[in-house]
Amino acid sequence: MSHGSKKPSLTEKYLPKDLWKWLSVKTSFGTTVYDCVKSALEHPDSNVGLYAPDPEAYDTFSELFHPVIAEYHKVDVENLKSVHDLGDASKLEDLPQNYADQIVSTRVRVGRTVKGFPMASKLTRDTRLELESRVKEALSKLDGELAGTYKSLTEMSKAEKDALIEEHILYNDADDKYLRDAGGYDDWPVGRGIFMNNDKNFIVWVNEEDHIRIISMQKGASLKQVWGRLVKAIHAMETKLEFVRHDKFGYLTFCPTNIGTGLRASVHVKVPKIADSGKLKEICESMDLQPRGVHGEHTESVGGVYDISNKIRIGRTEWDLINTMWIGVRKLLDSELKK
């Protein structure tokens, strides 16, 4: 496969040489190595390109998944152990007011896979609907500030969906070509939906990329409240659903870039000076942060506002990663607001 000056995807780089042997291997869900790599085949420009159609794929195809995970996450897979600690939200530091004024919104989410089901590309129409029903039932039992309502995408008008996408509450409508060619959008929009609490600051995405993404969000520099609410939600959901957790890789997701904690903590922050200097990406990478446009991966900034999040997901605890993001954003704003 020719790339010109472009590096091959991690999937191509680590594809086992004895591919003929691997093509005959299947998981109990029927996943083959081809199912895992088909997005990378369609898109040679992929950075990773690898997807796990079911939880077993991580070990059944370990000769491919393990080196990809090691390089992407910069971890020693052989000695890796799943570590988790949600910490105490009240101990998060508040930012000075002039720093807080630069932050438009704060958002934290975790991805989870429900035990007993394959991931997106191996779900059939019927199993996807069964999974949606099970998650919907669990969500209906939440109470207090987490109580809310569930809506399937098939029940929503285009105007309703567009309004929620504009508010950054609902996911985009099957528009990621990499995910599409991995099989992530099969039967779209059947079996997909969204749960919202009454204040619209606790959201659960159902059957978008992962089985569920549990999200806590609100306007401003409000990480204490956002993280505290998410921790409460995680504990509540764990009493109602069992999630897939691996001894090495932690919580498993469809894309191996999200495994481990499954955590993405982000702020939309105004950093126009740093952006104009052309050094935003370099500064972020030095602090294990990832800059994106405000409408998600592969999008552009709007008005000097960027989405800044933790890049690392695995090998460290949730509490460590939350603090890494928060301290990093503070340092970024040190530079942005320097006289």
* 81-85, 278-282, 299-303, 322-326, range with the lowest pLDDT: 299-303
Q: Pick from 4-8, 18-22, 130-134, 275-279 the range whose average pLDDT is largest.
A: 130-134
Please state the pTM of the whole predicted model.
0.92
Alpha carbons within 13 angstroms on the beta-carbon side of residue 251 total: 22
Span 216-269, pLDDT tens digits? 999 999 999 999 999 999 999 999 999 999 999 999 999 999 999 999 999 999
DSSP 304: T
Task: Copy the structure tokens of residue 289.
Answer: 């942060």
Span 36-74, pLDDT tens digits? 999 999 999 999 999 999 999 999 999 999 999 999 999
DSSP E strand stretches across the chain: 103-112, 148-152, 193-197, 202-206, 212-219, 245-246, 250-251, 263-270, 289-292, 305-310
Burial of residue 215 (number of CB atoms within 10 Å: 0-12, 13-18, 19+):
buried
Cα distance between residue 223 and residue 220, in whole Å: 9
Residue positions annotated with a catalytic role: 109, 209, 213, 255, 257, 264, 292, 297
Task: Copy the structure tokens of residue 227.
Answer: 């993280």
Task: Copy the structure tokens of residue 302.
Answer: 């709007």
